[in-house]
Amino acid sequence: MGGTDRIPFNRPHVVGEEFAYIQEAISQGKLSGNGVFADRCARWLERRTGASRAFMTPSCTAALEMSATLAGIEPGDEVIMPSFTFVSTANAFVGRGGVPVFVDVRPDTLSVSAAAVEAAVTPRTKAVVVVHYAGVGCEMDEIMAVARTHGLLVIEDAAHALLARYRGRELGGIAQLGTLSFHETKNIHCGEGGALLVNDPALVQRAEIVQEKGTNRARFFRGEVDKYTWVDTGSSHLTSEVATAFLWAQLERAEELTSGRLAIWEAYHEAFEPLEAEGLARRPVIPDEADHNGHMYHLLLPEAELQMPVIEALKRDGVHAVFHYVPLHSSPAGRRYGRANGELTVTDDVSARIVRLPLWYGLTDDEVERVIRGVVNAVTTVSPAARRPRAESPRPEAPHPGESGRAPLLDTTRTAR
Ligand SMILES: *Cc1c(COP(=O)(O)O)cnc(C)c1O
């Protein structure tokens, strides 16, 4: 069917050297954690981000769990974070009895503000987790200042943000701790993978122990202690050389992979300018302080009622677009384990209006054109229909963003095409 093949939301890119490096790892005869390839990846991350030490982990989730341990989270300790994020941001802290305190995000960047963080501080607050949504940096100077005033540890969930900068500084390398994801949906990947960036030198030694199942194995191998034993809590937060060998191939091409994504991002951004001018969609907002990494492209539709019809219309055109996140403060586990600090109006509103478009390295010019045409078509045909004045009888209930079931499409959307 050639040109009408479906365009997936994500397709994990393979640069080509992965297999050779995996073979090299195998021939070295050591495949467990912190081997030659993990070392190469970690030193690369340290050079790039300025971290005191980088630890290669099985996932960003695992790096967040290490962070919760290093932050000394105890039952009842509050951790301020956005509700508009992936579940792992919260789950890692809940696992140690921490209480997520969800705050709202800025309407422009969709990331937390220093003011929202400060308003949520209580005597029980222990830490703050910020998420650099879409690789666009949070207002880190202001957030770090609030944290210093209240004696809080800050963790950057930089899962989206590898090679993105805020005021010239690499994201993930600014707060005491930063976490990265190498999941296949992220800019640089190894299927499943992650890293913990320890930027505060005082936390490095304990991080080594936490990563190595609570043992001082790392010190033993450096000859600093004469036996290797259980000294603290920890887990197996190590990753196999098979994964880091794969990852090394991608890190070597990190610049190229990032600029490839940025080019697609720019093409979308330019093409949707007229939609924004007509009030049919709002494009991402990038503050002057932020150099982003083209991690994702989203549009905000003018009304929540349009979200599912637009996604459905794109699907009929063979374009797989998605919405996210289901806000954590309204999720079953978020309600059980955390609490919202006040009304999270931006979070609720944005999650009901957002549409994320396919964006991956290797998307061809032709495919980018098809996505653009599909979006323009969907937005311009669905919008007027869904905006018609309501009839006497109440409309069927608007689809909840958390339900992937079919939206109640209005008949007119089809005839309008
Ligand atoms: C992807 C993601 C994670 C989880 O990453 P894994 O490597 O899959 O554990 C955490 N936080 C955010 C914001 C993410 O987007």
Distance from the CA of 312 to the center of ligand 1, in angstroms?
26
pLDDT of residue 2: 42
E strands along 49-115, which residues?
53-57, 78-82, 99-103
Identity of the residue numbered 202: A
> What is the phi/psi pair of residue 180, to 5°?
-120, 155
Q: What is the mean pLDDT of residues 329-337?
A: 97
The string of pLDDT tens digits covering residues 168-197 is: 999 999 999 999 999 999 999 999 999 999
Which pTM does this prediction carry?
0.91
Return the pLDDT at 388.
53
Please say whether the dihedral angle defined by the alpha carbons of residues 215, 218, 222 and 224, taken in this order, is positive or negative. negative
Residues whose CB is less than 8 angstroms from the CB of residue 30 and which lie 6 or more positions away in sequence, other chains included: 36, 241
Ligand 1 atom closest to 61 (CA):
9
**Is the pLDDT at 412 greater than 50, yes or no?**
no
pLDDT band at residue 389, thresholds of 50, 70 and 90?
low
Q: How confident is the model at residue 33 (pLDDT cuts 50, 70, 90)?
A: very high
**Which atom of ligand 1 sits closest to the CA of residue 62?**
9
Could you tell me the distance, in angstroms and rounded to a whole number, from the CA of residue 67 to the centre of ligand 1?
A: 14
Pairing of strands 78-82, 298-300: unpaired
pLDDT at 3 over 70: no
Using a 10 angstrom Cβ sphere, with 0-12 exposed, 13-18 middle and 19 or more buried, the burial of residue 388 is: exposed
Which pLDDT score, from 0 to 100, does residue 4 have? 63
Ligand 1 environment, Cβ below 6 A: 59-61, 85-86, 88-89, 131, 157, 159-160, 181, 183, 194
How far apart (Å, rounded) are the C-alpha atoms in residues 202 and 184?
Answer: 32
- C-alpha span between 97 and 263 (Å, rounded): 43
Ligand 1 centroid–CA 417 distance in Å is 38
For residues 135 and 415, which has the higher predicted lDDT (pLDDT)? 135
Helical axes 36-49 vs 18-27, angle rounded to 10°: 130
Q: Which of 157, 95, 167, 99 is nearest to 130 (CA)?
A: 157
Topology (CATH level 3) of domain 8-252: Aspartate Aminotransferase; domain 2 (3.40.640)
Query: Given a cut of 70, is residue 413 above it in pLDDT?
Result: no
CA angle 250, 238, 234 (to 5 degrees): 145
Q: Domains of the chain: which residue ranges?
A: 8-252, 254-387
**pLDDT on residue 382:** 85
Residue closest to 375 by CA, chosen among 325, 414, 415, 320: 320
The average pLDDT across 379-387 equals 72
Q: For residue 1, is pLDDT > 50?
A: no
Residue 409: its pLDDT value, please? Answer: 29
CATH 3.90.1150.10 for domain 254-387, yes or no, is: yes
Are the C-beta atoms of residues 145 and 295 closer than 8 Å to each other? no
Question: Span 45-55, mean pLDDT?
Answer: 98
Asked if 308 contacts 319 with a C-beta cutoff of 8 angstroms, the reply is no
Express each pLDDT in 132-170 by its tens digit: 999 999 999 999 999 999 999 999 999 999 999 999 999
DSSP code of residue 401: T
| Predicted confidence (pLDDT) per residue in 119-134, tens digit | 999 999 999 999 999 9
Angle CA 197–234–61, to nearest 5: 50
Residue 23 pLDDT exceeds 70: yes
List, for residues 234-269, the tens digit of each pLDDT value: 999 999 999 999 999 999 999 999 999 999 999 999
What pLDDT score was predicted for residue 407? 34
Helix (H, G, I), strand (E, B) or coil at 207: helix
218-238 tens-digit pLDDT: 999 999 999 999 999 999 999
Query: Which atom of ligand 1 is found nearest the CA of 133?
Result: 13
How many angstroms separate the first and last alpha carbons of the chain? 22
Judge contact between 98 and 79, C-beta under 8 A: yes
Among residues 101, 134, 131, which one has the least CA distance to residue 118? 101
Q: Are 128 and 154 in contact (CB under 8 A)?
A: yes
